[in-house]
Amino acid sequence: MNNSTEQLIIRALRSSQGREIDIFSFFIAGHDILKIADISRIHRDEKLELKGFQRKEIRKHVNSIVEYLDNEDGNTLFPNAIILALSPEVEYKQTRGRDPAGLQPIAQAGTLFIPLRSTGDRAAWIVDGQQRALALSKAKNKDIPVPVIAFIAPDLETQREQFILVNKAKPLSTRLINELLPEVDMYLPRDLAVRKLPSELCSLLNRDPKSPFYQRIRQASSEGDNDSAVIVDTALIDVFRRSIHSPLGVLAQFKGIGEGDMDTMGMYNAINIFWTSVKETFPTAWSLPPTQSRLTHSAGIKAMGTLMDRIMARVPSHHNAESVVKDSLSRIAADCCWTEGIWKGLDMQWDEIQNISKHIRALEEVLIKLDFDASIRSLS
């Protein structure tokens, strides 16, 4: 390492896990955490590519940690380790000398040399402990030794993988994990693996200019940045997940058999066909936020997802799928109360419908009955 480069030099233990990934354990003064590590907050760049992975600062949580660190009794205990991803340029030198007899060869003692650079160009990133690091930087008690576990991460994908797995058991935002899942390519626990494909479809729809959902989906990275992003991602992901895993779901036919490959493009096209027709059939309701339209409300999205499976089941034998879907929706359009009126069969005002199971099921039943009655009439 270039000795002219300003750096933090600390004692550390080195071990390895998994694919021979170097893991380091050391203590650092609390105020030095944000001198060596950046907080990579989740956002999308001008090309709508996902950057970062962290949650936004939770001020109340940070302040409560600061209050604890600055308590006057002097008995502050801070045993919770901060987890960092280190750039490969961080250098480690093992301590020379003879080991004592019987020493377990699990870890080696040595010295870490971590470059000190400006924000946004630092040699480490916080994977777990963002709020604690912010609190340590604001606390009066800045010299408290803080335990750190760090690993070498050659790229952003490795950082995201560890972020998801480390936070899996914590109350991490479902929407944040949903948006991150499509960006990683690794072995996932089963409960995360089944969520990955619906999340991928949701992200693709939000980025594709030809999609009816283009920049309309509210994801963790778009909070407060895009007024047109009004459709909550979790509602759509729930629609896709149910359709993929239900025997009657239209997306299930593209799932493959056994361990066969999924036809993701087939799923994507089916989704686009149906929801483009929804947008064209209900242009006003589609353009409004959930407070003014129950079509863009999570309850409406989920109920229409059930109708998607029903209508699209009639499509395969027709060459002009768009026409079939558009005709089916146009036959029930007059009876849909997305922005005003009372739903027949529900006896509920349009804005009384909420995102709760009871209301969603009731709305699904009304839409299915409207579609069934309209289909019968079209045959007579």
pLDDT tens, residue by residue, 335-366: 999 999 999 888 899 999 999 999 999 999 99
> Is residue 1 pLDDT above 50, yes or no?
no
> Is residue 43 pLDDT above 60, yes or no?
no
> Is residue 176 pLDDT above 80, yes or no?
no
38 contacts 130 by C-beta, under 8 angstroms: no
**Burial (CB count <10 Å: 0-12, 13-18, 19+), residue 45:** exposed
Nearest in space to 202 (alpha carbons), one of 111, 112, 272, 254? 272
Q: For residue 346, what are the CA distances in angstroms to 100, 151, 158? A: 78, 56, 50
Dump pLDDT digits (tens) for 266-305.
888 899 999 999 999 999 999 999 999 999 999 999 999 9
CA distance 216 to 229: 4
Domain boundaries, the chain: 7-98+105-167, 174-379
Nearest in space to 301 (alpha carbons), one of 210, 364, 249? 364
**Which structure tokens are listed for 329?**
């929706």
Dump pLDDT digits (tens) for 51-101.
444 445 556 667 777 777 777 666 677 777 888 888 888 899 998 877 778
What is the arithmetic mean of pLDDT over 217-234? 76
pLDDT higher at 93 or 261: 93
Highest mean pLDDT among 12-16, 138-142, 304-308: 304-308
Q: Phi-psi region for residue 224, left (φ > 0), alpha (ψ -120 to 50) or beta?
A: left
What is the arithmetic mean of pLDDT over 130-154? 83
**Which structure tokens are listed for 139?**
């606390």
> Is residue 225 pLDDT above 80, yes or no?
no
Tell me, what amino acid is at 21?
I
CA distance 313 to 293: 27
Distance, C-alpha 227 to centroid of its chain = 19
> Can you count the helices (H) and strands (E) in the chain?
12, 14
What is the arithmetic mean of pLDDT over 3-8? 70
Give this prediction's pTM. Answer: 0.56
